[in-house]
Amino acid sequence: MGRLLGSLAEVDELDRPDLNKCPDCKCFFASEKCPICGKVCPEEMRAGNRKAEKKRRKRGGGNGRVTFVEWYHSWWFILIMMFSFTFVGIILLATSPRAKWKKILFCSVAAVFMVVSYSSFVYPGGISGIVYEIKSVFDKPVNTSLSKEEYEAKCEYVSAEDFYRNPQKYEDKYLRLELIVVKKAVVYENYYASDEDYYLCVSEDGRFNVLVRCCFVSGYEYLVEGDVISVYGEGAGQASAFDFEGNTFDAPCLNGAYVYLTD
């Protein structure tokens, strides 16, 4: 009987230990001579004397048959369904004849891709925007290991003009500034983080803008336009911001740890 249509040749050789075997033609026979080449069968190849054949290891596993995959079980179609109709895509993946590890790998990659795509839609900043938001909730950008007295003692008084003209010089330095609140503001990099407020402030003469980020440990007051404040904090370099009317401006930023109304 021939092989099934669509199957591959078996890797292992057929062995008949009850028959003689021709060393040249590799065929089995019961007579003294090979029916193909006519050679007399040597003693070591006769039935009962011949050593058992070592089975060769099959490559690729399975029964060697070619497996045909329906078009609706193709990777490309399952991927489209995953994004269009997720439930249908999962069913197609589960019922496909693919190996289990391939299904798990495909499902994992698709899930990660879908999360990234969804986060990019909800958060224009993508995954980095989500990470930034989570980090901003739990990570105060001011030193909270110091007591209020220790913190305020480390702060050097700097005029708003000097801070405005040299923001990089005072970055990460402990500072105290005297300012007047103008309005609330939003920093571009922190648009989707809502745990902290920003205030656009000016020097007492109204000439120099300063952004105050409200990372206050204690003593926080809800600030309103016209408040005269004394702020203790840490320099955070230059920042770009805009107000809720859409006006944009650049100003040095101070991460405020403590604030007091002075007027």
Tens digit of pLDDT at every position of the chain (263 positions): 444 333 344 444 567 888 888 888 888 888 888 888 888 888 888 888 877 666 555 444 445 555 567 777 787 887 787 777 777 777 887 788 777 777 777 777 777 766 665 554 444 444 444 344 433 433 458 888 899 999 999 999 999 999 999 999 999 999 999 999 999 887 765 544 444 678 999 999 999 999 998 888 866 667 889 999 999 999 998 888 887 777 888 899 999 999 999 87
Burial environment of residue 154 by CB neighbours within 10 A (0 to 12, 13 to 18, 19 or more): middle
> Largest Cα–Cα distance in the chain?
121
Instruction: Report the helix count and the strand count for the chain, using DSSP H and E.
Output: 6, 8
Beta bridge partners of 252: 238
CA 161 to chain centre: 43
Q: Are strands 174-187 and 156-157 parallel, antiparallel or unpaired?
A: parallel
Q: Give start-end residues of each CATH 2.40.50.140 domain in the chain.
A: 148-261
Q: What own/partner pairs with CB < 8 Å and gap ≥ 24 does 21-24 have?
A: 21/45, 21/50
CATH of the domain spanning 148-261: 2.40.50.140
Whether 148 and 217 have beta carbons less than 8 Å apart is answered as yes
CA distance 69 to 178: 74
Entry pTM: 0.47
Alpha-carbon distance of 75 to 72, in angstroms, equals 8
User: What letters, b where the CB count within 10 A reaches 16 and e where it falls short, cover 163-194?
Assistant: bbeebeebeeebbbbbbbbbebbbbeebbebe
- Separation CA 247–CA 160 (nearest Å): 21
CA distance 258 to 25: 96
Q: Report strand pairing: 228-242 vs 248-261.
A: antiparallel
